[in-house]
């Protein structure tokens, strides 16, 4: 008997945004494989920090696969800005949850973190043998200018969705100016959200109000065991669990937390070792928080690498699982919708600041300027996949190093 096409669970491809629970078992497995493929690739080639990671996710998830609308991606990004933890990793976890529930949450998050963890783990083993960082200047020399073009494209696209009216435009400008004046980025996100919320609802103050306090209060410093005569897997797990539970901000904020816990309080690392660890997190693809993998291996070998990595990333998985189901309900409220609009605009403003900082570090001579301009041409005019551009930038950097 010939099977009809409609009887084959894979023959009829579901719509990209079909709810996961409505799919057949074969379609669910296919969706999980797609998630794994996308985030393994991003975890392997996503250099440049959170702004670049977000730009690449926008390219892969919104533009190429239409898994989410750009407005939905912005909402998820806004929520990640209001909870502690690594923003780009939490965005990956959110996308996984949106696509395939808790299974997608686990698959997207671990696949995004996994490649960077393995790379950092290998570098840590080499570092322990040689007590020196591998030479990677050629890699960053070619890749950093490419990242500028990728992030600029994301800013352009996200800006069209986030800056939808005068209040959001004013909020973005306000955040950029205040950030350069040294104001705390989390405070700026909250102020921008509250400001846009108030402006949009001042004529109808009680319309659709929902509590937003849980998203405005930073988690307290939990009382967890952090001091031990010597580093071991358990003590490292609790230290990094605490850091992952309360840390907002950039890799520089992570540096301050690690210095207090591991250099000043416990004396397990020297200041130079800590700087080397943070440098490894910056020069490798994927989340900067894989610095924890390097430190864990340095202090307690393989078990320490695993314990520290699990500890620092575990809160991100738990927080996203708790917060994500509330995102659609929050958006339905006039008050919270206005608040999210403000936070989205503020996040865009912070990304613009990051682009400026990256440009100063990346474009250092004529060659890097040419790479940045050429990359921008390929990104904006020819829509070349960001993965190919990153690999191309690395190859150019390598060739220029040989030439020198």
CA-CA distance, 231 to 267, in Å (whole number)? 10
Rounded to the nearest 5 degrees, what angle is found at the Cα of 266, between the Cα atoms of 262 and 268? Answer: 60
> How many CB atoms are closer than 10 A to CB 233?
20
Predicted local confidence at residue 221, as pLDDT: 41
Judge whether 297 and 230 are in contact, CB under 8 Å: no
Q: What would the pLDDT profile of 206-255 be if each residue is shown by its tens digit?
A: 444 444 444 444 433 444 444 556 788 899 999 999 888 877 655 555 76
- Whole-angstrom Cα distance, residue 387 to residue 46? 8
In the prediction, which pLDDT does 350 show? 84
pLDDT at residue 251, as a whole number: 54
At 216 the pLDDT is 44
pLDDT at position 222, please?
43
Tokens 């209001």, residue located: 82
Predicted pLDDT at 246: 72
Q: Do 160 and 345 form a contact (C-beta atoms < 8 A)? A: no
pLDDT digits (tens, 9 = 90+) for 119-158: 999 999 988 887 666 666 777 688 888 878 888 888 898 8
Q: What's the confidence (pLDDT) of residue 204? A: 60
CB proximity list for 352: less than 8 A, separation 6 or greater: 155, 172, 176
- Please state, in angstroms and as integers, the Cα–Cα distance from residue 210 to each residue in 159, 216, 332, 334, following that order: 26, 13, 9, 9
Give mean pLDDT in consecutive 10-residue pieces for the chain, a chain of 404 residues. 48 70 90 96 87 91 93 91 85 96 96 95 88 68 84 85 92 92 80 91 56 43 51 91 76 68 85 78 84 94 96 95 87 84 86 82 91 93 81 89 78
């Amino acid at each position: 008997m010939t099977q009809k096409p409609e009887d084959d669970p894979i023959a009829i491809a579901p719509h990209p945004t079909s709810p996961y629970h409505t799919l057949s078992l074969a379609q669910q497995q296919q969706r999980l494989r797609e998630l794994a493929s996308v985030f393994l690739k991003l975890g392997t080639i996503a250099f440049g920090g959170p702004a670049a990671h977000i730009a690449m996710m926008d390219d892969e998830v919104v533009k190429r696969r239409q898994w989410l609308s750009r407005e939905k991606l912005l909402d998820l990004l806004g929520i990640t800005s209001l909870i502690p933890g690594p923003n780009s990793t939490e965005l990956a976890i959110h996308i996984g949850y949106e696509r395939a529930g808790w299974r997608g949450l686990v698959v997207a998050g671990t696949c995004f973190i996994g490649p960077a963890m393995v790379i950092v783990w290998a570098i840590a083993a080499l570092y322990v043998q040689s007590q020196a960082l591998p030479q990677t200047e050629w890699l960053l020399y070619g890749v950093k200018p490419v990242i500028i073009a990728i992030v600029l494209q994301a800013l352009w696209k996200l800006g069209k969705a986030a800056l939808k009216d005068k209040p959001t435009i004013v909020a973005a400008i306000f955040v950029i100016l205040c950030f350069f004046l040294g104001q705390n980025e989390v405070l700026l996100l909250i102020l921008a959200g509250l400001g846009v919320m108030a402006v949009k609802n001042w004529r109808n103050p009680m319309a659709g109000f929902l509590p937003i306090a849980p998203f405005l209060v930073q988690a307290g410093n939990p009382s967890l065991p952090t001091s031990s005569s010597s580093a071991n897997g358990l003590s490292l797990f609790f230290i990094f669990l605490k850091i992952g539970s309360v840390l907002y901000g950039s890799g520089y904020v992570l540096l301050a937390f690690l210095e207090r816990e591991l250099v000043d309080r416990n004396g397990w690392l020297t200041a130079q070792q800590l700087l080397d660890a943070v440098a490894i997190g910056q020069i490798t693809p994927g989340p900067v928080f894989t610095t924890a993998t390097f430190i864990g291996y340095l202090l307690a070998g393989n078990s320490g690498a695993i314990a520290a990595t699990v500890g620092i990333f575990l809160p991100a998985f738990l927080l996203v699982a708790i917060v994500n189901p509330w995102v659609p309900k929050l958006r339905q409220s006039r008050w919270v919708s206005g608040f999210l609009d403000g936070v989205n605009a503020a996040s865009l403003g912070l990304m613009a600041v990051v682009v400026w900082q990256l440009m100063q570090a990346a474009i250092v001579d004529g060659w890097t300027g040419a790479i940045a301009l050429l990359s921008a041409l390929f990104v904006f005019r020819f829509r070349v996949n960001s993965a190919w551009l990153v690999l191309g930038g690395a190859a150019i950097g390598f060739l220029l190093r040989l030439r020198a």
